[in-house]
Structure 1
Amino acid sequence: MIYLLSFGTGIASAIDNPSRRGLVTELVEPSEIPNAMSLNTTVMTGSRIFGPALAAVLIGPLGTAWLFALNAVSYLFVIGSLLMIDKTKMLPATSAARGGKPVREGLSFVWRDPMLRRAFIVFTVVSTFAFNYSVVMPKLSDVRWGQANGYPILLTCVSIGSVFGALGTARFTRITMRWYATLVIINGVSCIAIAWAPNFLVACLLCLPLGLGGTGLVASMNGLSQQNTPPEMRSRMLALVAVAFLGSTPIGGPVTGWIGDNIGIEWSIAYGGILTLLFVPMLWKDR
């Protein structure tokens, strides 16, 4: 039953993620889309700070089951908010012609745009190999720094950095490749530095730029995928970003696990940073 529920949740997330982000693009003017996407990411990452903290307070007196129930009830507020949107003020995108092959057309559009193509390739590499730190940090915290219960603190530090990354991206009306490349570098260097952090305090401090670079990169990729894209292609671009971000885990996860078991727990997070930095020159080519 747990596996079935998890499978259903995964399917729902795969549909919800691009749909929710696509809705954001229909609520603002085209020139404001990158900013709106970044603010949306800020709200999402901010919830990662307060959500775990609230859960830590309530899990004792209420228990795990009731927390799942409260989470289910919270969706009533989401539904209510959606119903309150004034559809007459929305800016719906032009529907693409039915038929054809949407995924293939989306990939073809990306491939024809040199800047977008390079950004997608780098984003896919980072998502596949450098965004698996959440499964590495619990063991890294225990084995390297002797903090068996330190993971929630590390995650909170990552989330705080994520808010700054999203807000930093939100100040742009147009995402530049210089900013995008800077975030890639920050993410890669942070992964390598955390792998060999001398103590838990330093690791917590390094989690701040890790969150900034990672979330800023996701927000920037969402912005890049929208700012030069025809309205009828925007949802497809968001779906491709979601696939690159979420769908790459089955590839990167096993690789990360194998490296952690056979080479060393430090290398299971550092290798992602190294691969990330190796792809940075692609972003500077013919800018």
Structure 2
Amino acid sequence: MAAMFAPLRERNYRLWAAADLVSTAGTWMQVLGLNWLILSDTGSAATMGLVVMLQALPVLVLGTWGGALADRLPARPLLIASQAVRALLALALLTHGGHPLIFAVALASGVISSVEGPALGRFGSALVPPSALGSALALGSVLSSAGRIGGMALGGVLVGVTGPAVLFLINAVSYLAVIGALAAMRTGELRVLPTAAAGERGVLSGLRYIAGQPVVLIVLALSFVLGSLGRNYQVSMAAMVAGPLHGSSGSYGLLSTVFAVGAVLGGLLLAGSGRSTLRVLLGTGLAISVLQICSGLAPDVTSFAALILPIAAGAVVFDTVVSTRIQLDTREDMRGRVLAAVGIVSSLSGMFGAPAVGWLCDTAGPRGALLLGGVVTTAAALAGAAAIARAQGRRLHLPHPEPLVPAEQLA
């Protein structure tokens, strides 16, 4: 338990955590408001998908340049500026500019994310000592899940009473919490991260560095495969409920809640254990892949929910350990560019995975999609473990699925 609260000993981290919780809730309220607005006007899920794509494309195109900028520029003023622009974009939605404005805001948000994402990761590692980074990232995941649950719940109530405009306004105000936290931080307590030498500050230098890190490349490949075929449960859950499980809209809401609870538990488990190792990453990846196969065989909603809970917990553990290892196992002066690569892989897995899982559900059925996806991700986890062992010159030794057992057994 001591590891869980280690990051909270840092005043700057406490400020950041509180502001992040508020901002995340506001962000998800805006997501809900935008979805409501688009569906009310067009009834088109494809238009919603276009908005998501417009947000993801700049990260794919500009992510490497954003990472290079994050490694050059001081993170704190850069983040204050990005939060101010995001607040203005949220306020712009209040002008009722129609779909062109929504598309423009989505595209601009993606451009900001291409720089802001690496800068956030770099700044986060400056808030705590390296020994507490894993717990800090895990607690951040808990706060993100809690903010998402709270934001969606409150937004779901408000949107029916006030309409989506109030949600956009609340989101704009929520960015002020982040700006205030950044302004109130004690800069003397921030850990100073080294910057790259003059000849190593460009995009190509970052790409060459990543290409020379075999373990990092294997972890990124695993993240892509498991993220694309083993993450898109919002698609497969809906297909399972509407199909073989013969559930209702209430059943889907229940499963979504269980998934969110599992995500919170996974973050707490990892923060409490403080074990963000490659063995945990590989063991968790294998465990959630096997559980995905089991979920494809679930006979009813109850048993499916019982499997969704540890899958969600394991997914958070896996993603958090990926981020932790990527940061701890690479040079700090390359951190922005390495984190940009993580963001690009995450965007690619989302853009490829959701349509791929949807297509599998339509062609092979929801059970077939889960089974096939689980088999592929299980094979990927085993191959990744063998590849990492070979790259490190060690014998393959997978742990038991530690992240899915009680925390006291991990100590």
Answer yes or no: same fold by TM over 0.5.
Answer: yes
CA deviation string 1:66-89 (max 9, x = no partner): 223222221111211111111111
CA deviation string 1:1-29 (max 9, x = no partner): 23333222333333333322221101111
Mean Cα displacement is larger for which, 164-173 or 19-28? 164-173
Within a 5 Å distance, the mapping from 1:106-145 to structure 2 comes to 106-145=206-245
The equivalent of 1:238 in structure 2 is 339
Is residue 193 of structure 1 aligned with residue 290 of structure 2?
A: no
Task: Kindly indicate whether the alpha-carbon contact (under 8 Å) linking 2:200 and 2:206 is maintained by their aligned counterparts in 1.
Answer: no
User: How many residue pairs were aligned?
Assistant: 287
Task: Indicate which of 235, 239, 249 corresponds to 2:350.
Answer: 249
Percent identity over the alignment is 29
Mean Cα displacement is larger for which, 58-67 or 230-239? 58-67
Task: Indicate which of 6, 21, 24 corresponds to 2:124.
Answer: 24
The offset of 1:107, in angstroms, is 4.2
Task: Kindly indicate whether the alpha-carbon contact (under 8 Å) linking 1:174 and 1:227 is maintained by their aligned counterparts in 2.
Answer: no
Task: Kindly indicate whether the alpha-carbon contact (under 8 Å) linking 2:286 and 2:382 is maintained by their aligned counterparts in 1.
Answer: no
The equivalent of 1:5 in structure 2 is 105
Structure 1: give runs of 5+ residues left out of the alignment: none
TM-score normalised by structure 1 residue count: 0.89
Within a 5 Å distance, the mapping from 1:204-215 to structure 2 comes to 204-215=305-316
Higher helix share: 2
Structure 2: give runs of 5+ residues left out of the alignment: 1-99, 395-411
Task: Indicate which of 322, 328, 337 corresponds to 1:221.
Answer: 322
Q: State the structure with more CA Rg.
A: 2
Is residue 262 of structure 1 aligned with residue 356 of structure 2?
A: no
The equivalent of 1:95 in structure 2 is 195
Task: For 1:116 and 1:209, locate their aligned partners in 2 and report how far apart those are by CA, in whole Å.
Answer: 26
Task: For 1:274 and 1:193, locate their aligned partners in 2 and report how far apart those are by CA, in whole Å.
Answer: 11
Q: CA RMSD in A?
A: 2.3
Task: For 1:125 and 1:235, locate their aligned partners in 2 and report how far apart those are by CA, in whole Å.
Answer: 23
Is residue 163 of structure 1 aligned with residue 285 of structure 2?
A: no
TM-score normalised by structure 2 residue count: 0.64
CA deviation string 1:203-233 (max 9, x = no partner): 2222211211111111000110111222101
Q: Structure 1 residues 46, 100: closer, same or farther in 2, change over 3 A?
A: same
Is residue 274 of structure 1 aligned with residue 375 of structure 2?
A: yes
The offset of 1:265, in angstroms, is 2.5
SS of 2:193's partner is: coil
The offset of 1:258, in angstroms, is 2.1
CA deviation string 1:99-157 (max 9, x = no partner): 66745444443443343332222112112222222233223222233213433322221
Task: Kindly indicate whether the alpha-carbon contact (under 8 Å) linking 2:142 and 2:263 is maintained by their aligned counterparts in 1.
Answer: yes
Task: For 2:281 and 2:290, locate their aligned partners in 1 and report how far apart those are by CA, in whole Å.
Answer: 15
Task: Kindly indicate whether the alpha-carbon contact (under 8 Å) linking 2:224 and 2:348 is maintained by their aligned counterparts in 1.
Answer: no
Q: Structure 1 residues 281, 139: closer, same or farther in 2, change over 3 A?
A: closer
Task: Indicate which of 180, 192, 198 corresponds to 1:80.
Answer: 180
Task: For 1:67 and 1:172, locate their aligned partners in 2 and report how far apart those are by CA, in whole Å.
Answer: 37
Within a 5 Å distance, the mapping from 1:60-75 to structure 2 comes to 60-75=160-175
Query: AA paired with 2:271?
Result: A
Task: For 1:265 and 1:114, locate their aligned partners in 2 and report how far apart those are by CA, in whole Å.
Answer: 35
Query: AA paired with 1:233?
Result: M
Q: Structure 1 residues 130, 166: closer, same or farther in 2, change over 3 A?
A: same
Mean Cα displacement is larger for which, 103-112 or 90-99? 103-112
SS of 2:270's partner is: helix
Q: Structure 1 residues 92, 205: closer, same or farther in 2, change over 3 A?
A: same
Query: AA paired with 1:66?
Result: V
